[in-house]
Amino acid sequence: MEKEKFDYYIKTEKNSWEVVIGLEVHAQVISDSKLFSGSSTKFGAKPNTQVSLVDSAFPGMLPVINQYCIEQAIKTGLGLNAKINLFSIFDRKNYFYADLPAGYQISQYKNPIVGEGAVTLDMPYGSKKVGIERLHLEQDAGKSIHDLSPDNTFVDLNRSGVALMEIVSKPDLRSPSEVNLYVKKLRTIMRYLGTCDGNMQEGSLRADVNVSVRKKGEKKFGTRCEIKNVNSIKFMEMAIDLEAKRQVELLEAGKTIEQETRLFDTKKNETRSMRSKEEAHDYRYFPDPDLLPLEIKQSFVDGLKKKLPELPDKKKDRFIKKFKLTPYEANVLVSEIDISKYFEEVIKNADIKLAKNWIIVELFAVLNEKNLDIKNSPVSSKNLASLINAISSGEISGKIAKKVFEIMVETGGEPSKIIKEKGLKQQSDPKELEKIVIKVLGDNSDKVSEYKSGKEKLYGFFVGEIMKASSGKANPKLVNDILKEKLKK
């Protein structure tokens, strides 16, 4: 496949502008309990039912680090090929808000648990490395609910204290589609690792998007604006496009960009100022005196490293080499760990070429249509393997297989049973087939004469009639052999 050229510039009459994007992704850590308390983190519980005295900042309450969350952050760091800092510090980020019970959020400021790393994106114009600046752990805040009453705001603290990883990229991204792939790549890696479920509807993954523009070829970065709390990839792409265009318009009108925090209004389809640099909070970060610096042993990190699953990039390489997949196919099959697992289960006992096509074409179409995860696929990997084997062995034709597959999708049944029950097994007995051929030719003796006198196009007609007479079950190769033989005579 020929490589395309990168071409995301904002072009105006005068100039071509490059868009520079950096992301701060907030990923909720998969953990049964919160970062500094034993409360449950389960999503969707009744308001304020998963709140400990620590989460609601009662007097004298103290945080205790949840070791599992630390492990999750280290695993994620390893997945991002990043440096794990054996010494890190939890700081207090001070600000007042009703859903922040302590009046500060425990976060990591100058000494994060994970340092620099990188992820690789497969763009149509080649692979692209995106630098990771850092990953740090922090607590989530609670939720203010403004729409339950005209006069009151309600506060739900279930989320208060839940562990988040903030993954900060370098300003290496250059287009909405790169952002799209970057976020998806992060999500894939974290899902492989089991460190974040990446569920954007539930808010498990959200991002602050930093956007600036500069003239194509310019080396210096422009002034950036930060778009806060964007919670879907589509919105990220929209917000970047809108924000970049807004900045270009300002600059071309001879104005300057103010560094500020902006909001993306999905209803009005615009970004607008939330607070300027002058109004920016002074968070008065300082090391949380309730927590000692976090010191980790290298052996602890090595232990986690050993237990890491095969990550998407490696798996992709293996799939290409071992199974002779195209990069596209490999990419699709490793995009979710469950898909890759499914694929590998199918090919344990079935033909690879048939398997990848059936999964990528037939199965994905069904899953898409039914809006299902592969985990909830009505066709199990075992059943798909049986179906493919039925094709390979000549038990059924590819055409019949599609029919069987349809029934499998509806009923979840086993292909062998369906083939048997519906009598779909391919007719491969030459004697039986011969009988059918003789009957069809006998019924159409006039056409046989025409054929013999040179109208060879009728061959297809005979095949069609034979297939019809066998309800589509006749083994096409045998039918061909027998028919040719009979027509010779």
Partner 1 sequence: MSDFNKSSLSEIVNLIKSKKVSSSEITSHYIKNIEKGKKLNSFITTCFEEALKKAKEFDNKKNFNGLLPGVPLAVKDLFCTKNVKTTAGSKILENFIPTYESSVTHNLWSEGAILLGKLNCDEFAMGSSNETSYFGNVINPIGKDLVPGGSSGGSASALAANLTPATIGTDTGGSIRQPASFTGTVGLKPTYGLCSRWGIVAFASSLDQAGPMTKNVEDCALLLEAMSGYDGKDSTSINKKKEKYSKNLNQKVKGLKIGIPKEYRIENMPKEIDSLWKKGIDILKKSGAKIIDISLPHTKYALSTYYIVAPAEASSNLARYDGVKYGYRSNKGKNLIEMYENTRGEGFGDEVKRRVLIGTYVLSSGYYDAYYLKAQKVRRLIKNDFDKCFKSVDAILTPSTPSSAFKIGEKTNDPISMYLNDIFTVPVNLAGIPAISIPAGQDNKGHPLGLQLISKALDEQKILNIAFAMEKSIAFKQSLNRWWE
Task: Give residues in contact with partner 1 (CB under 8 A).
Answer: 53, 56-65, 92, 94, 96-98, 101-104, 153, 155, 282, 284-286, 289-292
Nearer to partner 1, 101 or 312 (CB): 101
Q: How far apart are CA 339 and CA 190, in angstroms?
A: 15
Least Cβ distance, residue 27 to partner 1 (angstroms): 25
Smallest CA-to-CA distance from 26 within 141, 130, 111, 156 is with 141
When the beta carbons of 47 and 476 are compared against partner 1, the nearer one is: 47
Nearest to 186 by CA among 171, 168, 208: 168
Between residues 91 and 237, which has the closer beta carbon with respect to partner 1?
91
CB nearer to partner 1: give 146 or 457.
Answer: 146
C-beta closer to partner 1: residue 61 or 463: 61
- The distance of closest approach from Cβ of residue 275 to partner 1 in the complex, given in angstroms and rounded to an integer, is 14
State in angstroms the smallest separation of the CB of 287 from partner 1.
Answer: 9
Of 155 and 396, the one with the shorter C-beta distance to partner 1 is 155
Task: Report the alpha-carbon distance of residue 198 to residue 477 in Å, rounded.
Answer: 49
With respect to partner 1, which residue has the nearer C-beta, 13 or 96? 96
Q: Least distance to partner 1 from the beta carbon of 238, Å?
A: 31
Minimum distance from CB of 153 to partner 1 (Å)? 8
Q: CB-wise, 58 or 87, nearer to partner 1?
A: 58
CB 340 to partner 1: min, Å:
40
Q: Cα separations (Å) of 54 from 34, 89, 98, 351, 419? A: 10, 19, 16, 56, 61
Please enumerate in sequence order all residues whose Cβ is within 8 A of that of 72, keeping only pairs 6 or more positions apart, or say none: 29, 30, 31, 163, 165, 193, 195
CB of residue 99 to partner 1, shortest distance in Å: 9
Name the minimum Å distance from CB 137 to partner 1: 15
